[in-house]
Chains A and B, each alone.
Chain A
């Protein structure tokens, strides 16, 4: 079957198997390997991308279901003027170690900040609880997202 969607602002059309998962479509068909996968049961949240602005687990979305939707991945976060404040915050606050969950965490953080520009640490913990990180113990991820909340200027420029 054929599917058409917008990925990081660019419309793509592709011939796919109906059973193809969105995560495999992004990685294997489009070469956007910044989105990772970590489990088979939608528990780990490593594969989070944004769909129409909301974070979704791309292992639980068929590529066919993404037809006509706007998909955002980590590769689309950096603007012409530089890193998204979320990306900068993750670097400044050491919010990543192995980097494997980082794209999912950052996509989730961007959606959170778009909806709630000044979240409390507890609101951040609630927002990111769908993605598991084995390296950081989460504290620095919370700080990273707070950093981004406190440095929104770049996001405004990019927007």
Chain B
């Protein structure tokens, strides 16, 4: 594989001015969004529609003594009040999670986190439904909660999952990867230097601007259930509803309308969705449930919450030899992460990152706590966010301990281009890369030497005057694995991670492409039309992309883990090539020659040696539907379908550099510059790719500096509104500086690697490394995210706080 920087490609331009293939193309979907004509969940209005609202637990851990819904039922606008007791009679009180655990739909025995679903009111309008919640009386008997994950396995810890037969502790799983003995050997060598640290990736929340919701409508005449859901995975949801409710799957239609951002938050099945289904079955009317922001933040799929103890071994001159970690994973009250079954801690074992090591080992222990369930959500590529943060912080801590330049240390240890395909010590096969090229591109673009020279002056001035800000420079080099499956290795609830795709070319040469994946803003309607254009020469404006409706699209596992381009993009290329192959046979029949006598030019099959004799794809489409006599065994029409089973993950990577200025008086961090060089293989639509990187970088700044959901000792969620859970605005984000290298994936039909989560995976470590670098004159070696002004100030005082708890002190930082 060859790597290049910023390739110039030339593709023909369509009558509408669009590239017939790869290149910058304005988005088709914008036409409706710009006019306020997007169609999001809460925009749906059906005749006679009722509104649901959920009564939630104010306590983190309590036994339910009684529930009295009578006053609510007497409200003139209330149509039904559904409790766990009613669901029990329908065998719907519990539902399977995406991790094979069970989760309460409405609590029956006890509540296990603050905000847990207790009752569901169906009323004539949304205000009345909320009013009625106030009329339900619930008597609780308080139980001691488990809030500190590090105490969840203590012998005297209260047992949260008393619903599970014989469960006597809060342990969920132990999971290992790599070779512990090989690590012991390396770490035991007398000449190695070992750096150790405890790193917390605090609980975070994706917070798409549209919260989660659904509209359920059971047609009692046809027996068909239609669910409009804010779902990134409509087909997986349909199967889950069939399993949960015992409804025949062919009588369930799941429609994901326009989605106002997902970021993983809209992968799981939430109790509210099931309640809306029960609501329509009970009332016979369509029922809409739409959570508010506090419900979204307090109860739906959170992310991270990984407590990582790390050790890195290296020679004194900076050759990294081994890396290992023992990690505690807080999964909340139910193990409801959405991740491949065989990977209970996602793809965290990719934590060796971009470096060539002798040995590596990780052991992850998952525990229950009295917090909202979830874990894998938020643009993390199945826990690679945690892995990338871990290795990139450990490398910087090693650089600190060895007094080496972090750029030089990285360059010295990167996997080299001739080592690909590269087998990592924890079992991953990286497909392709030229890491040194990409790191150097970032260093050059940033002017790394000049920045370090400026920093020397900055520190000298600060040492002399004690005034002004301190400059910090942070690097991160990440590698992620995206595009799950292969299906034999990766499944969710037994559903293999392979995705279907169908392409049909109409007689007049216009195409319809049907996808199993679902867009939440990624621009699939544009990008996937460009893939067809690239393969068939059809103008992209002539290709309609259909997605998000299980009655209209083939089965597939949906959009998350940056799967769309690596999996469905490959499927789209495969179906287009099948159409092209069929078009060749039809063209040969029309030209009365052998298919072998034809050669392809974009959009047309012509006779080898005589380009004037040929048929365009549009002409072939009409011929395919005409009375042209076709060879034996060749059916008419021009269409194809495929199920794409990825042979391996794809491995996008990148080198990020962040420059910050820290005010040591206030602890305020200002991100001055952010340089990001990404290699995701060829870019189908560079404009869309860059847009996704921009967004991910902003998320990274949010996680590094602002976003965390902490709890007090009673289990009260302290990030339950946007007044408490801070998101970056236009003022916290710099003007991003992007670069590009291109190393195609050898196993993807288009060479594409996916990019949706790259920047979210790679950027937090760059920001944190920059801040810690700025604080190094104060002797700061590490402080946990988020690096709020208070946390920075405490770090300068030598006592950074734990950021997962609002009680106790110390223990969170490794000094």
Q: A residues within 8 A CB of B16?
A: none
Give the docked Cα–Cα distance between A37 and B260 (Å): 11
Give B250-264 as 1s and 0s: 1 = Cβ < 8 Å from A's Cβ atoms.
Answer: 000000001111010
**A134 adjacent to B695 (CB under 8 Å):** yes
Using CB atoms, name the residue of chain A closest to B733.
A138
Q: B residues within 8 A CB of A35?
A: 36
Shortest CB distance B200–A (Å): 23
**B33 adjacent to A99 (CB under 8 Å):** yes
Q: List 24 A-B contacts (CB under 8 A).
A: A31-B45, A34-B35, A34-B38, A35-B36, A36-B40, A36-B260, A38-B260, A43-B721, A74-B34, A91-B34, A94-B26, A94-B688, A96-B30, A97-B523, A97-B691, A98-B208, A98-B209, A99-B30, A100-B38, A101-B209, A134-B209, A135-B521, A139-B735, A140-B691
Interface locus among B274-282, B640-648, B724-732: B724-732
Q: Given A73-B36, A98-B261, do A137 and B209 touch, yes or no (CB 8 Å)?
A: no
Using CB atoms, name the residue of chain B closest to A98.
B521
Q: A residues within 8 A CB of B690?
A: 94
**B210 adjacent to A129 (CB under 8 Å):** no
In this assembly, does A17 line the interface, its C-beta being within 8 Å of a C-beta of chain B?
Answer: yes
Q: Given A33-B43, A36-B40, do A137 and B697 touch, yes or no (CB 8 Å)?
A: yes
Give the docked Cα–Cα distance between A140 and B687 (Å): 10
Shortest CB distance B557–A (Å): 21
**A126 adjacent to B33 (CB under 8 Å):** no
**4 cross-chain pairs, A with B, having the tightest CB-CB distances, nearest first:** A34-B36, A98-B521, A99-B33, A100-B260
**A36 adjacent to B293 (CB under 8 Å):** no
Q: B residues within 8 A CB of A124?
A: 730
Of the candidates A46, A99, A141, the one having the most CB atoms from chain B within 10 angstroms of its own CB is: A99
Q: A residues within 8 A CB of B722?
A: 39, 41, 43-44, 132
Give B646-680 as 1s and 0s: 1 = Cβ < 8 Å from A's Cβ atoms.
Answer: 00000000000000000000000000000000000
In this assembly, does B196 line the interface, its C-beta being within 8 Å of a C-beta of chain A?
Answer: no
Identify 20 new A-B residue pairs, CB closer than 8 A, beyond the known A134-B206, A135-B695, A136-B698.
A27-B42, A36-B40, A36-B42, A39-B292, A40-B293, A41-B293, A46-B209, A74-B34, A87-B34, A94-B687, A98-B259, A99-B29, A99-B38, A121-B735, A126-B730, A129-B729, A132-B727, A136-B694, A137-B697, A139-B736
Give A1-30 as 1s and 0s: 1 = Cβ < 8 Å from B's Cβ atoms.
Answer: 000000000000000010110001001000
Q: A residues within 8 A CB of B33?
A: 96, 99, 102
Shortest CB distance A78–B (Å): 6
Give the docked Cα–Cα distance between A17 and B733 (Å): 41
Of the candidates A96, A129, A134, the one having the most CB atoms from chain B within 10 angstroms of its own CB is: A134
User: Contact check: which of A19, A41, A91, A103 meets B27 at CB < 8 Å?
Assistant: A91
Q: B residues within 8 A CB of A137?
A: 693-698, 733, 736
Using CB atoms, name the residue of chain B closest to A96.
B33
User: Contact check: which of B688, B695, B723, B731 meets A125 at CB < 8 Å?
Assistant: B731
**A99 adjacent to B258 (CB under 8 Å):** yes
Give the docked Cα–Cα distance between A102 and B258 (Å): 13
* Range for the number of chain B residues in contact with chain A: 35 or more
In this assembly, does B699 line the interface, its C-beta being within 8 Å of a C-beta of chain A?
Answer: yes
Give the docked Cα–Cα distance between A92 and B24 (Å): 11
In this assembly, does B108 line the interface, its C-beta being within 8 Å of a C-beta of chain A?
Answer: no
Q: B residues within 8 A CB of A106?
A: 34
In this assembly, does B420 line the interface, its C-beta being within 8 Å of a C-beta of chain A?
Answer: no
Q: B residues within 8 A CB of A136?
A: 691, 694-695, 698
**A99 adjacent to B260 (CB under 8 Å):** yes
In this assembly, does B207 line the interface, its C-beta being within 8 Å of a C-beta of chain A?
Answer: yes
Shortest CB distance B242–A (Å): 28
In this assembly, does B294 line the interface, its C-beta being within 8 Å of a C-beta of chain A?
Answer: yes
Give the docked Cα–Cα distance between A94 and B30 (Å): 9
Shortest CB distance A1–B (Å): 15
Using CB atoms, name the residue of chain B closest to A121.
B735
Q: A residues within 8 A CB of B694?
A: 136-140
Shortest CB distance A111–B (Å): 15
Give the docked Cα–Cα distance between A94 and B29 (Å): 11
Using CB atoms, name the residue of chain A closest to B726.
A43
Give B502-529 as 1s and 0s: 1 = Cβ < 8 Å from A's Cβ atoms.
Answer: 0000000000000000001111000000
Q: A residues within 8 A CB of B520?
A: 98
In this assembly, does A83 line the interface, its C-beta being within 8 Å of a C-beta of chain B?
Answer: yes
Using CB atoms, name the residue of chain B closest to A93.
B687
In this assembly, does B327 line the interface, its C-beta being within 8 Å of a C-beta of chain A?
Answer: no
Using CB atoms, name the residue of chain B closest to A127.
B730
Q: A residues within 8 A CB of B727?
A: 44, 132, 134
Give the docked Cα–Cα distance between A139 and B759 (Å): 15
Q: Given A94-B691, A97-B522, A137-B695, do A38 and B210 touch, yes or no (CB 8 Å)?
A: yes
Q: A residues within 8 A CB of B778?
A: none
**B40 adjacent to A100 (CB under 8 Å):** yes
Give the docked Cα–Cα distance between A126 and B43 (Å): 30
Query: For window 461-499 of chain B, which residues contact chain A by CB distance below 8 Å?
Result: none
Shortest CB distance A119–B (Å): 12
Total residues of chain A contacting the partner, CB 8 A? 58
Residue numbers of B with Cβ under 8 A of A are 26-27, 29-30, 32-40, 42-43, 45, 126-127, 206-211, 258-261, 263, 292-294, 520-523, 687-688, 690-699, 721-723, 727, 729-731, 733, 735-736
Q: Given A96-B30, A100-B210, do A19 and B293 touch, yes or no (CB 8 Å)?
A: no
Q: B residues within 8 A CB of A94?
A: 26-27, 687-688, 690-691
Give the docked Cα–Cα distance between A46 and B733 (Å): 18
Using CB atoms, name the residue of chain A closest to B258.
A99
Give A30-64 as 1s and 0s: 1 = Cβ < 8 Å from B's Cβ atoms.
Answer: 01111111111101101000000000000000000
Shortest CB distance A92–B (Å): 7
User: Contact check: which of B294, B691, B733, B736 meets A40 at CB < 8 Å?
Assistant: B294
Q: A residues within 8 A CB of B209?
A: 36, 38, 44, 46, 98, 100-101, 132-134
Using CB atoms, name the residue of chain B closest to A126.
B731
**B30 adjacent to A98 (CB under 8 Å):** no
Give the docked Cα–Cα distance between A32 and B693 (Å): 32
Q: A residues within 8 A CB of B294?
A: 40
Q: B residues within 8 A CB of A97?
A: 261, 521-523, 691-692, 695
Q: A residues within 8 A CB of B692?
A: 97
Q: Given A41-B721, A134-B207, A137-B736, do A74 and B36 touch, yes or no (CB 8 Å)?
A: yes
Shortest CB distance B403–A (Å): 35
Shortest CB distance B56–A (Å): 14
Q: B residues within 8 A CB of A142?
A: 730, 735
Q: B residues within 8 A CB of A150?
A: none
Give the docked Cα–Cα distance between A90 and B38 (Å): 15
**A135 adjacent to B691 (CB under 8 Å):** yes
Using CB atoms, name the residue of chain A closest to B290.
A37
In this assembly, does A114 line the interface, its C-beta being within 8 Å of a C-beta of chain B?
Answer: no
Give A66-86 as 1s and 0s: 1 = Cβ < 8 Å from B's Cβ atoms.
Answer: 000000011101100001000
Give the docked Cα–Cα distance between A141 and B209 (Å): 16
Q: B residues within 8 A CB of A73?
A: 36
User: Contact check: which of A19, A102, A133 meets B34 at CB < 8 Å?
Assistant: A102
Of the candidates A35, A38, A106, A135, the one having the most CB atoms from chain B within 10 angstroms of its own CB is: A135
In this assembly, does A128 line the interface, its C-beta being within 8 Å of a C-beta of chain B?
Answer: yes
Using CB atoms, name the residue of chain A closest to B737.
A139
**B37 adjacent to A34 (CB under 8 Å):** yes
**B40 adjacent to A138 (CB under 8 Å):** no
Shortest CB distance A68–B (Å): 24
Give the docked Cα–Cα distance between A121 and B256 (Å): 36
Q: A residues within 8 A CB of B695?
A: 97, 133-137
Of the candidates A37, A39, A46, A102, the one having the most CB atoms from chain B within 10 angstroms of its own CB is: A39
**A96 adjacent to B699 (CB under 8 Å):** no
Shortest CB distance B118–A (Å): 20
Give the docked Cα–Cα distance between A127 and B720 (Å): 26
Q: B residues within 8 A CB of A40?
A: 292-294, 721
**A98 adjacent to B210 (CB under 8 Å):** yes
Give the docked Cα–Cα distance between A75 and B692 (Å): 27
Using CB atoms, name the residue of chain A closest to B263.
A134
Give the docked Cα–Cα distance between A14 and B698 (Å): 42
Give the docked Cα–Cα distance between A142 and B523 (Å): 20
